[in-house]
């Protein structure tokens, strides 16, 4: 999905792959050590962004988004269904567009942060496997013990 255009004429694109696309809903599987919460479902931009992607690529508009999560610690499955308004979807798209502009300008705030002990850390997705900005990230050396 084209999000917008840089000053130099290049486009910013949104890309992604939903786990399952049905006519009436989009499904995303999650796994983790903890339960996927209703707050996470309500605040995640993923339903808004995937719904836009599905509209653009498949010309259908599933109104519901289902998170199906597996808690590896408890061995329990759970599900939560959410919906997004047009305003929420547009807000998510504008946010992603701004992130793209910030990355291109080299001013996007990196994920590494100092924890309460003053030690720098980075998120699990800070790796060449999961981060599209890895090649240009000046903070990728943080926690070099992590697999990259």
Task: Report d(CA 19, CA 13) in Å as an integer.
Answer: 20
Are 50 and 26 spatial neighbours (Cβ–Cβ below 8 Å)? yes
Q: What local confidence, expressed as pLDDT, does residue 113 receive?
A: 56
**What is the CA 120 to chain-centroid distance, rounded?**
22
Mean pLDDT along residues 28-38 = 91
| Rounded CA separation 144/148 (Å) | 8
Question: What does the pLDDT look like over 88-140, one tens digit per residue?
Answer: 999 999 888 888 788 777 776 666 555 555 555 566 567 777 676 777 776 66
Kindly state the average pLDDT of the residues 66-92.
Answer: 95
Q: What is the pLDDT of residue 112?
A: 57
- Percentage of residues of the chain with pLDDT beyond 90: 43
Average pLDDT, the chain: 82
| Nearest alpha-carbon partner for 112 in 133, 139, 130 | 139
Task: Name the pTM for this structure.
Answer: 0.71
148: confidence class by pLDDT, cuts 50, 70, 90:
very low
């Amino acid at each position: 999905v084209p999000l917008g255009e840089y000053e130099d004429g290049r486009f910013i694109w949104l890309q992604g792959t939903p786990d399952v696309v049905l006519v009436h809903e989009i499904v995303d599987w999650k796994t983790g050590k903890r339960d996927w919460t209703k707050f996470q479902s309500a605040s995640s931009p993923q339903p808004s962004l995937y719904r836009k992607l599905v509209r653009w690529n498949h010309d259908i508009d599933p109104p519901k988004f289902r998170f199906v999560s597996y808690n590896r610690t408890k061995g329990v499955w759970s599900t939560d269904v959410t919906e997004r308004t047009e305003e929420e979807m547009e807000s998510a798209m504008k946010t992603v567009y701004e992130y793209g502009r910030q990355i291109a300008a080299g001013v996007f705030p990196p994920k590494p942060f100092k924890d309460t002990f003053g030690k720098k850390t980075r998120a699990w997705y800070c790796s060449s496997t999961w981060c599209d900005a890895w090649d240009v990230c000046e903070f990728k050396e943080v926690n070099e013990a992590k697999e990259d």
